[in-house]
Amino acid sequence: MTASSPAPNGKRVLLAKPRGYCAGVDRAVVTVEKALEKYGAPVYVRKEIVHNKHVVETLRERGVIFVDETSEVPEGALVVFSAHGVSPAVHEEAARRNLRTIDATCPLVTKVHKEVNRFARDDYDILLIGHEGHEEVEGTSGEAPDRVQLVDTPEDVEKVTVRDPSKVVWLSQTTLSVDETMERVEQLKERFPELADPPSDDICYATSNRQFAVKAMAAECDLVLVVGSRNSSNSKRLVEVALQAGAKDAHLIDYAREVDEQWLQGVETVGVTSGASVPDVLVLELLDYLAERGWKDVQEVTTANEKITFALPRELRDEKARSGVR
């Protein structure tokens, strides 16, 4: 969808829709909020519940304690596993230490875990396209560490070794750039012509939708501002996608105050979007910041309407029904 003509002063904002929270992030954040209400503080969370600085700091103020490893949680305490998922080894350690657990893994990540298990059972070599060190990749690989090989860079494609070229499948991290992932798949297929595709798309609907929305407006933008945190894979991809799709400049920011005034010099059209773990309040603050500097004309560029929601983990569903939380 093409936005309408600029405002009289030439300054306008193109606001991408969809943007911000996806269903998996919404579910994970509400899970922690409900756990606090039901069980009281402290609630421990392994890793960041979602990759967003504002969300993590807000929950920390309410009594959430974020830890890197399950071993840091006191025996018998309550721990929530983040939206990015964990390996079976983490579940086993939690059970050994008598921890009460609530699993807030995004259902779309769980789907990829199940695919790994299925292909490992069928004795496939699994090529997981993803970013080394990302929590989601660690959890997914941990489902079948002896069968999964990570493919991050073009160099990794050359290093892959398989036992039987007719029994190889590719899967992917859910938050990647769609275009970059397909580029990696083509490189893998040159080496392994019989490479099997996932049974369904692994890249999450929200990641794809946000990238498509940015592509629809990028060519009209002198500057694209992506609200999101540095450790958010899908937010970083939005900056890359904006530049590849024709934006003259693009930057990732957590808060409006991080905008460098120099970025705005000579700029008429500013594109605004946000990653899938970003609450819309941060986007509204950025729109206020821009309005104060003359960018008052905001035009929404809509490429999809998202209606997907996920049920809360079973431990909290009764609470959900009583409180009317979606």
Active site residue 115: no
DSSP state of 105: -
Task: Look at the alpha carbons of 143, 145, 148, 153 in this order and tell me if their dihedral is positive or negative.
Answer: positive
* Of residues 109, 102, 76, the one with CA closest to residue 319: 102
DSSP H helices in 200-249: 205-218, 233-244
CA atoms within 13 A on the CB side of 295: 23
> Rounded to an integer, what is the distance from CA 57 to the centroid of its chain?
18
* The one-letter amino acid at 194: E
Calpha distance 52→80 (Å, rounded):
16
DSSP state of 262: G
Q: Give the SS3 label for residue 151.
A: strand
Please compute Rg for the chain using Cα positions: 21
Rounded to 5°, angle at Cα 132 from 130 and 137:
55
Catalytic annotation, pick one of 135, 136, 220, 315: 136
DSSP state of 221: -
The residues that are catalytic are 136
